[in-house]
A and B are shown apart, each in its own frame.
Chain A
Amino acid sequence: MIKAIGIDVGSTTAKIVGVNESGEFVWSYIEPADPRVEDQVERFLEKVREMAGSIEGIPIVATGYGRNLVHQATKKVTEITCHARGVFKQLGHGGTLVDIGGQDSKVIVIGPHGEVVDFTMNDKCAAGTGRFLENTAGRLRVKLEEMGNVALSAPEEVKISSTCTVFAESEIISMIAHGVRVEPILKGLHRSLVKRIVAMIRSVGLVPPLMLSGGVVKNPAIRKMIEEETGEKVILPDHPQFMGAYGAALIGLKLGKG
């Protein structure tokens, strides 16, 4: 039985999560982000209605870049707070959470009681985000979901010196022109992204354990390389891509209980 709903309208995907009385993750749904946010949210809520009957009186908390367009929301909360809340509930401990999203990446230091102690976000450049991989996946004719494995299959890697998405693309074009194979390029590309992320982790100071969330987590190369670069084992929650929406639902549950 759904007692609270969390909606995360991100830049790449939109997610919805329902939780039960005790805050357990009971239902979720995901779609690529629709530029008509209001329509998409209405569609999402229709799905909940189909499944659970009425949503009357169920608190809805919205998060993500499009949160202000979720007019049905009881409350709007930032992704930082929501991710921290969701991950803490699932894993039961604090530490350093890295969320790599489509538009931005965040490093959140979570305290022993699940509170946000500190956070940082990538700067104005897209090089530390999922968009960095997405942008170049197209150019290399590799499917986004296969990128990680292709990268890991390469025994060697090339150095992508640029940290800018646009410049990285031109660098890749010139490598292709020089006959460099796709696999080492992809591996170098992942390394470049991970180095940006690790620099962010270092800038706030790594408080172990290290946890990961966000859509990019599905990529095994990212996970492996973060472990290599930090020397820390990475812990994943059960539904890494839904942590924002899950945390939002948990905040909703608390609201419902007053």
Chain B
Amino acid sequence: MSLRDHLKYYWNVKLVGSAYLRWQRWQAERKPRIPRNWRTDIIAPPLKISARTKELISRHYLEGRYANGHKPVAWVTSGGPVEILQALGFYVLYPENHGALCGARRYALELSEEAENYGFSQDICSYARTDIGAMLSGKTPVGRLPKPDLLLACTNICQTVLFWYRVLAKHFNVPIILIDTPFVYKNAPEHAIEYVKKQLEASIPVAERVAKKKLSFKKLKEVVRLSREASELWLEIMYRGKTKPAPISVFDQFIHMAPIVEMRGKPETVDFYAAMLKEVDERIKKGIGAVKNERKRLLWDNLPIWYKLRFLAEYLGEHGISVVASTYTMAWGELAPLIDPERPIESMAKTYIYPILNRGTGYKLQKMRDMVDEFDLDGAILHSDRSCKPYSIGQVDQRNRLISEYGIPALLLEADHNDPRAFADEQVKARLDSFIEMLE
């Protein structure tokens, strides 16, 4: 870590960059601009908080651009126990979030092809391909990604991360921390939680060695507290979808979920979601719905189709259909009660073993059913995501049982979260049209 790198970081990030992004945000807040062709006749204009989301995300990647040489950098899986790294002052990059950003900006295919040209199969997760493509080519829409000094992969979201992060470890020649979270069928047995806890404890000296400093438990408790606060606020925001009309749709949630995934444990994330909750409550007070003429309310299962968010929001919105809740966005809030700042490591072990993706298919079915009741929904769309096998497995049965056992109309929609080649416009429309008629 050199003086030159520190100066570069302070000048570009702290002084010029942050000031510029703040100014950009003020401008956007002063004169909110609705994106071109936005169907305001069907759906509500973007949330005002969008200006702040953009500032947060831009600053995050700007910081990443100048992080090497200034602070240690870690690349982490989306369900990774990040609090220890945050407390040690790491800059944390989430390749999956970067992948989603590339997907939403329709840049993922180009990166994916970079990986495929190198020999990675099209059958591998499109996040992994996007990330590996970015790694191999150095291309990214955010300027430049920092090189990792440490990798953290947690198997609570899938097993692909095991192999994906090994590729990264080999390429960057850096250590990898692997947190193995045993699959939970009903309740996690004590020994499984203990096993995760021991791995977390064992990861501390590795992270300390890379960070070249000792972990302060006081700091860790503070990070865990902030993590919990942000998750609680996010959960509150999700639950506001129970209101009719729903103030925000899952498509809004998808856009504004980046901070809860990649900036957990930071005070600005707590402030951000407090402000978002306030705006959502204002919408409720004014009776503003995400869809102007909300007639039907749906559940979304699985990851978003990042390159088709607007299309889906408008296509469904046109028929008065609001997709108000999703198992996916809920995943970053529902575990909030398990986080205990006073017992950081123990509670982290518990929190990180229980994500929906690490639990049985029966649990997800029950969860969907509960959400249909809680949010008073008329049906469900299950995105069968070609890339995400752990999320998609069991969906055929889950869909059939939603229909046959609970009388909930449900549609299986085949696509991919990041690879637009797996999305056929006409076929998707044909299925959506028929499903919409069925809901009538």
Contacts and interface: CB of A to CB of B under 8 A. Distances in A.
A104 B426 CA distance: 12
A77 B400 contact: no
A116 interface: yes
Which of the four size classes fits the interface of chain B?
10 to 19
Contact of A119 (B396, B400, B414, B438): B438
* Chain B facing A: main interface SS: helix
B434 A104 contact: no
Interface in B386-440: 396, 400, 403-404, 409, 412, 414, 424, 426-427, 430-431, 433-434, 437-438
Given A117-B403, A121-B427, A124-B427, A80 B414 contact: no
A32 interface: no
Most interface-central of A65, A78, A80, A205 (chain B CB within 10 A): A78
Contacts, number: 39
A77 B437 contact: yes
A145 interface: no
B184 to A, nearest CB: 28
A65 to B, nearest CB: 8
A78 B437 contact: yes
A165 interface: no
A120 interface: yes
Nearest to B431: A121
B404 A205 contact: yes
A205 B437 contact: no
Contacts of A124: 414, 424, 427
Nearest to A118: B403
Contacts of A104: 427, 430
A203 B438 contact: no
A81 interface: yes
B422 to A, nearest CB: 8
Contacts of B430: 65, 78, 104, 121
A118 B427 CA distance: 17
Contacts of B404: 205
Given A121-B427, A121-B430, A116 B438 contact: yes
Interface of B: 396, 400, 403-404, 409, 412, 414, 424, 426-427, 430-431, 433-434, 437-438
Closest 5 CB pairs of A and B: A80-B434, A78-B434, A78-B433, A81-B437, A116-B438
Given A78-B433, A104-B427, A205-B404, 13 more contacts: A65-B426, A78-B437, A79-B434, A81-B438, A115-B438, A118-B403, A119-B434, A120-B412, A121-B427, A121-B434, A124-B414, A203-B400, A205-B400
Interface of A: 65, 77-81, 104, 115-121, 123-124, 203-205
27 contacts: A65-B430, A77-B437, A78-B430, A78-B433, A78-B437, A79-B434, A80-B437, A80-B438, A81-B434, A81-B437, A81-B438, A104-B427, A104-B430, A115-B438, A116-B434, A116-B438, A117-B403, A118-B403, A119-B434, A120-B412, A121-B434, A124-B414, A124-B424, A124-B427, A203-B396, A203-B400, A205-B400
